[in-house]
Amino acid sequence: MNYNKKSIEDIDVAGKRVLCRCDFNVPTKNGVITSDKRIVAALPTIQYLIAHKAKVILCSHMGKPKGEWKPELSLKVVADRLSQLLGQEVIMAADVAGEDAKAKAAALGEGQVMLLENTRYIKGETKNDPELSKELASLADIFVNDAFGTAHRAHSSTAGVADYLPAVCGYLVQKEVSIMGKALANPERPFVAILGGAKVSDKLNVINNLLEKVDTLIIGGGMAYTFLAAKGYSVGNSLLDDTKIDYCKEMMAKAEAKGVKLLLPIDTVVADSFPSPIDGPVSVETVNVDSIPAGKEGLDIGEKTRALFADAVKSAKTVVWNGPMGVFENPTLAAGTIAVAQALADSEAITIVGGGDSAAACEQLGFADKITHISTGGGASLEFLEGLELPGIACLQDK
């Protein structure tokens, strides 16, 4: 995939109607937004468009209404919050690409902003329906994609409209593509990747792809126990995917053949069972990975492993991290994830954290401002690491 895409700065937006796909899929409770981080993240692109006299038409999905009009998933709350943040009214359309949206888009003045209703209220959105794509495109002269979190989806509002309009990226997508693209295509070496999370099956293609690119691959989290089982160790009641043991053996052999250092945990924090509730009290002990007791479950990396992984990060010039090292939601089982986050924060390298749980961990632990780049897309950043083409980026014009 070509990572060198045109951005809003490469196109004249003055006086033009610009349809901008944002990620306003914000969490709400009782009709109130509980975190406006995604709205704030979209501001630089929106403010650029306003300052350059564009007529701004924003669109996004929220939740999974599956083609039904669910009032609790209306973007009206986003329009209200955005109006406050921008210091100007954000005009709310009553529909997605219907009569009201068309009338309001036609009446829009330079520097004005409107927001379409939840794109997933229309069934055709997630099916990339050409008719819906055409209707959406008819509202505007230019398409801007600034929603990296949905860039791995070929939907009407993320990719389909680009069949009918010149398409460029906003600042959020530009940053993701330039930083992650360079890390994968032309990294400063040594290049270290750290993978965690629960299941090997979620990261099969990521492991395979990264072994072609990295100097060191570190594996922690629940997925490590299948690798340990593939080495012939007994893993007690730890998370194990029997069907992936041969795959893990293949990946270890591939790493050896390519001269890639593959680091697995050498000790682990075990408990009698998974904590319930997840943040409840838990009695733990640390054991070497070759002596996990029967009936015990590994739930975090041990102290020796934390030192081993941190040491590998010290000499790196590029580090990519995706997935926690243990059940970090529980304070007793968070030490491994904290150690990795700390190692990245202390590093002089270019540090990139893939979205989802690792991003949440960095933010909760207060390390966010010490990381070069925290991705805004969980699924999208994973597919990026897999080396897949992302439809919402592939559809944008190349520089």
Residue in the structure block whose two tokens are 């090292």: 325
Q: Which of 63, 98, 181, 379 is catalytic?
A: 379
Q: Is 15 left (phi over 0), alpha (psi -120 to 50) or beta?
A: left
The distance from CA 260 to its chain's CA centroid, rounded to whole angstroms, is 26
Report how far apart, in Å, the C-alpha atoms of 123 and of each of 61, 131, 132, 150, 319 are. 12, 11, 9, 17, 40
Known active-site residue 55: no
Question: Which of 16, 17, 21, 38 is labelled catalytic?
Answer: 38
Token duo for residue 114: 């409107």
Q: Is-contact 177 353, C-beta < 8 A?
A: no
Element (H, E) at 113: strand 113-115
State the catalytic residue, choosing from 326, 356, 377, 392.
356
Helix axes 378-386 and 171-185, enclosed angle (nearest 10): 30
Q: One of 70, 127, 199, 317 is an active-site residue; which one?
A: 199
Annotation marks residue 221 as catalytic: no
Does the annotation count 199 as an active-site position?
yes
Give Rg (Cα) of the chain: 23
Nearest to 55 by CA among 172, 167, 136, 142: 142
Q: 208 in helix, strand or coil?
A: helix
As a whole number of angstroms, the distance between CA 315 and CA 308 comes to 12
Q: Mention every residue, 6+ apart, whose C-beta is less than 8 A from residue 32.
A: 77
Residues involved in catalysis: 38, 199, 356, 379
